[in-house]
Amino acid sequence: MAQQSITEIFNLTGKSAVVTGGAIGIGKAIVLRLAEARAAVTIADVDLDAASQTAREIQQSGGKAQAVKCDVDSPDDAMRTIEKTVEAFGRLDILVNNAGVYPPAMLADMNRETWDSVLNVNLRGVFTSSQAAARQMIKQGGGGKIINIASVEGLHPAPFLGHYDASKAGVIMLTKAMALEWAAHRILVNAIAPGGIETPGLDVLLGSFTPPGGKIDETKQYHVNRTPLGRMGTPDDIAKMALVLASGAADYMTGSLVVVDGGFLLS
């Protein structure tokens, strides 16, 4: 068998992907990179208007994309998203579990509703979407890639984010469990742990770490100063790694966690 060229390894022509939380931020960056690699993409998001706008951007550039309204914690929505992907593109090859929430709250004051809302989206949502995707991949005869967006918070806790920390630690272990169970079906499951990334929700998150009377920019600079590479990450930093995991470059890789944090955990 002839060795593939680099171009062939990263060419996703004929493959289709679902990206949850794909309308903005990291999710949108992943959608755009997968589409650039010629995958057909379903943008699954609770914000259908924003997802539709991202789909139009891809379509106007000659790519294939559709938007689907999806609550990742709903088994019906997860199944419908997969069904619509197969109807539109013929099959499912890639799932990126990116949807997530992180409302800051102190553990001593947190109510059950806040705890449940974070765990339901960030952890149970990954299980729900992955289960629906794996069933379709197995039905197709096996083969596929599932990429879970975890976080460095799943490895190193932060104050006011105990629920988020727990959910992302769960995603890391769930990734390994799914990889182990589904390897026989050639479904490869890996995770990415982003560090601090410039996204629309970053200021909300940093605000929880900022003392009364302080400035969010100062908190952000403190994070940058602790990061060996000296900057915040961008959504595209994560998207490029997701593309690697979705491509032929990661065909002998499963159950792994890739940390993309500018060296933050080293500090």
Residues serving a catalytic function are 164
Using the Cα atoms of residue 38, residue 22, residue 67 and residue 145 in order, give the sign of their dihedral. positive
Q: Which of 116, 101, 129, 133 is nearest to 20 (CA)?
A: 129
Contact predicate 171/126, CB 8 Å: yes
Chain center to CA of 39: 16
Residue whose pair of structure tokens reads 């006011």 in the numeric block = 160
- Residue tagged 């550039």 (tokens): 61
d(CA 21, CA 8): 28
| Residues sharing a CB contact under 8 Å with residue 129, sequence separation 6 or more, in sequence order | 18, 20, 44, 72, 78, 81, 95, 97
Burial class (CB in 10 A: 0-12, 13-18, 19+), 72: buried
**Rounded distance between C-alpha atoms, residue 55 and residue 28, angstroms:** 10
